Structure 1
Amino acid sequence: MNQAQQLADCAQEVQRPRIGPDALAAGERVRVQPQLVSSPQAVELLAEWLLAPARSKPVIVISIASGHDEAWIDAPRLAAEIGDQAEIYLIPTGKASWALADRLPARTEVYGGAGRLYPVGTDWMSDPCRAPLRFAWAATGGPRATDALLDDVLTLAPVDRPEKTQPSSQAQVAASVARPGLADSDQAAASTDAVHQIPTDPAAELSKLQLLRREKDRLGTRLEETETALTAVEADRDRQRERCVKVDQRRRELEKELKAARARSVPDGLDEDAFCDPGEQFCHEVYLAWARRIPKSEKAARPLAPYVIGPDFLPSLKVIEGMDRAKVVDVVVEVLTGFRSPGRDLHPLRMDSGGNSRAVVRADGAVCWRVALQKGSPAARRLHFWRSGQAVELSRVVVHDDMTP
């Protein structure tokens, strides 16, 4: 039986309650068998439940690694061994896991095949160490991560006190042996001491000691594996950081070279103030940029598409400060020729921030598009333009957070 069938069988044992405001307000939950959380609504409700102070049970969230249909961590085994001590949810790595991460405090997300136990209360929100992430880098790491999550649950569960057992016959006999030189009252006290000092079952005590030693060795191995994995992650992070620094430095160098090349290729006064009409001037700059950027062998294949300048476009260039006009002209050339530079993030403008939101469409059927002029900050500039077939109307230059067409 595969894991998916096991989860389905578990799901039939109890009726699954919905996660929602009513349940959160009541502060009461029944045991939930492993459930798959993938829709935006389910992710939103799970995030609310994890952050709810009224939650009375720990919650285990297990991620399914990208490109896989089943989790490496054994969710059915956790459900069988944990019982009603915690709730269990499964979430695919991707849009669902990133949406959940956006709604949780920093360093409390779960993704890539790992699992995390979220305790009750709110302490874990400010101290992520209270909700440790248990990694499973591949299917072979699933059993170890499963054991770790079981230990996490048992650590939070109350420990039952063992009932006092009657002393064995061996202990009673040992306690009844009289010690020379003691009075009768002292003999009784010595007998009582002997009952508590002699193990009731030496074999059982030895077995417990062996179990403790094995557990100590297992925990030591896990600690070494965790430290090794952490060292590898930190080393990879340092390599990526160094690479980003080099890439950024190279980008700045190329921008300087491009600016210098533009200055050398165009005589002074040729691009600016060639026309009295601002619209004709901008079209002139677009044509010159197209002539410079598109090789002569590709000009026939990449002509400028028909376009018009909208009424708000040129005024927006004056309002938006800190934007190189030549950069705007270059991006307009890319839009009109279909040329794709890396990092432009060309996409239709949406009605809202929802993942399934429709594109903004004008009454005449034209679709509003959005392309990056800059990146990396809320004030980064964007170009909005309308497209109907091959025809383009330049709309506005805006900052990143301005979604007005």
Structure 2
Amino acid sequence: MSKRSQKRARARRNHADAGGAAAASSATSPALPPESAPATPAFDGLAATPPGQVPPSSITVVEDAAAARDLAQRLRARSFPWPVVLITVASGQEEPFIPAQDVADQVEGLAQVYVMPTGPQSWAFSNEMPPFTQVYGGASRVYAPDGRWLQDPYASPLRMAFSHPDGVRKSDLLVSDVFAVAPVADRSSHPVRTVSGMVEGVVATRGLVSLSDGGMASVWAELTVTGVPIERLLRPQQAVSGVLDETTNRLDISAMRGEVVPERVVADSRPAPGEHRHVLVRVESVTAQEVTVALVPGVPVAVPAVLAGPDAAEAFAAGDVVAATWWPEGEGHELRLDLWEEDDPIAPAPALLPDGPPWLTEADTHPDAAEGEEADGDASREDDGIDPSSPLGAEILELRRSVEERSREVARLRAERADLRRRLRAGRAGGGSAVLTGREFLDPVEQFRFEVHVAWAGRIPASDKARRPLRRYEIGPDFLTSLEALQGVSRSKVLGVVVEVLTDLAKELAGRDLHRLRESAAGGAAAVTREDGAVCYRAALQRETASARRLHYWERPDGVIELSRVVKHDDMTP
């Protein structure tokens, strides 16, 4: 028997009191309906472990249903002052796929680890736990002491392992889950010292640091910024410093966050007066009244639904990365979610640590169908000693395949939903034009006028419509033809800029680069003027792109705007 197996065997023999038992429901364990479950305590925040109390370092193994019921009741009552890691043994196995002792070693002093076989214990545990919070059949969870998972089961992610190699990877996720919920005050139970070093690179979910004294250390994202991947915190050759846990060689660099003041970062993201700027944000929460986003973690900004566009509750979901717009309003700016379009440039997101990479990228705005914890099932697993010719073995293997297929389907559907939200946001940009088919009128002029009115209704808040009405305007003979012929700019973007021109917003936006069209490039050249006294103006549809598009229009002496043409940057024909 290997040393690791001997450790696990000793752990299984190490029985704690029945009140500390762990549990998981079997593959067929039914969950009780909500009304039959005991009352759930209200969430009231996370508290540090009481002074002098530390979780047991040994693994507790659940041996019977009574212990399982007791553990479930203690979890529901939130009687554990530290996180509880519950690792289950799959049917037909003698030990869990997830290496419980390795997990226990890494979370020593932070969490209590339990192991439980699938069987009568899982029935008892499942019957005591709220729906969707059970665990069984080789799966594992971390139950945080704050009790948030009682109201939101997804706050306690399910980590499913199907083989020993799969279990090793899932053990890293479990440890990460512990660090994400362990009280900060409890994270330094080992000898520590202050060190500095250089980031060598990022491997999997860890940053590797070469210390100035010649040693090596690893940086965990969970110790630095919860909910942000390590590759969005560290980059190669980045200088770091922090507190080194000499037992685990974990380097805590969270103090470096103090060098980047979030409130100052948010303030710096605002453009100059009169200008607008597109920035990346992460959606934190969505209600019917507002969409709350973060330009940096920990500094939420509430965007009223009226500034998030139509159907905001369907277009956004927590976790989405989207483009927002700092838009001039009065003497300052307001953050809006209904103005950005696919071809608009976006300012780089800030770094969360000194000299670090941007914490968000434009690639994050496009959901990846390959993402998702549930999408990583691998049919070519190692032989775990299951005899496929036996009835039980065949059933176990079939259940595995079924779980894998359903996991992949769940991941695919989640990616599809994210992509649909992205397309909904992109399609309605420019003030709600996504609801249009482009065929509401047979006459192209009537159709365009209708779309302008819809864009104005969506772009201008109700409180501003009285002071920003649409000016009288006409559509010149070449305008629609040039719009249809020109590629590289969306119709909705043109509609948005037309609305800005007709409401005089374009005069206040430095980004529109609004100016009179000159007869030549020579200094002091006269403005292009028609015989009727109309002056030609030029407004930017795009900036910082090749052959950036421009809008040409005439402003007549009677105040009427005449839309002339949509052109490329070098086209100076009125």
Q: TM-score range by the shorter chain?
A: 0.3 to 0.5
Larger Cα-atom Rg: 1
Query: If each structure's strand is expressed as a fraction of its own residues, which one has the higher value?
Result: 2
After TM superposition, the score normalised by the length of structure 1 is 0.39
* Greater fraction of residues in helix: 1
Under a length normalisation based on structure 2, what TM-score does the superposition of the two structures give? 0.29
